[in-house]
Chain A
């Protein structure tokens, strides 16, 4: 059983398109996150939700909009994709906020052409 799953695994699209990445966790966790890993492998948090409420919103262009329909799901919608959005996007979850271990999904590799 996959604990944190993401779809799709790969996403290739043209500049200007809108795309979504879905994330689901079956761990019963309250908190979910989105991270971006750039081409140099650097990981940076983008957003987090605790029980469907937005907790962390880093300096991310407003073309990125997270949505949490319930605490097991956190989706990421990206409008007007740009070349610089090409990266690996990881979803993660933890039992709660704060000093809790975060468990990551397999990542979604986004390539914007």
Chain B
């Protein structure tokens, strides 16, 4: 089974700055998918971005980009030009089987300050 590690329990970032959230994974399966979700204080889980293990390009979605380094088994999320509304818990997750068993990391709490 895949293991996801998010080493940053929490971080502060100033508005308009970029922030990188770390995520490493551990799998021997050549085919896997990596996901990032945002959980604001209201509690819902919002899908942000996806990276497939065979994708050649790093995924981007608006201000979100995924820095995928396959050899290092890392899939860091970069949020550019942080906004106050980006304050939330961010989860890295992975799928490495055909059953859809999404494995989550422990999450990183981001606080954006004015």
Contacts and interface: CB of A to CB of B under 8 A. Distances in A.
The A contact surface, by secondary structure, is strand
B106 interface: yes
Interface string B36-72: 0101000111110010100000000000000000000
Given A99-B52, A101-B35, A101-B50, A107 B45 contact: yes
Given A43-B104, A44-B104, A98 B98 contact: yes
A48 B50 CA distance: 20
A48 B100 contact: yes
A36 to B, nearest CB: 11
Nearest to A32: B100
A109 B31 CA distance: 34
B25 interface: no
B101 interface: yes
Given A41-B107, A44-B104, A107 B44 contact: yes
A62 to B, nearest CB: 20
A45 interface: yes
Contacts, number: 66
Q: Which 8 A-B pairs have the closest CB atoms?
A: A104-B45, A43-B104, A98-B98, A99-B33, A106-B44, A97-B100, A107-B43, A41-B107
27 contacts: A31-B100, A33-B102, A41-B39, A41-B89, A41-B107, A42-B104, A42-B106, A42-B107, A43-B93, A43-B104, A45-B101, A56-B99, A56-B100, A88-B43, A90-B45, A92-B102, A94-B100, A97-B99, A98-B95, A98-B98, A99-B31, A99-B32, A99-B95, A101-B35, A102-B102, A104-B44, A104-B45
Interface of A: 31, 33, 35, 40-45, 48, 55-56, 88, 90, 92, 94, 97-107, 109
Given A99-B33, A99-B98, 15 more contacts: A41-B89, A41-B107, A43-B91, A44-B104, A48-B101, A90-B45, A97-B98, A97-B99, A98-B98, A98-B99, A99-B31, A104-B45, A104-B46, A104-B47, A107-B45
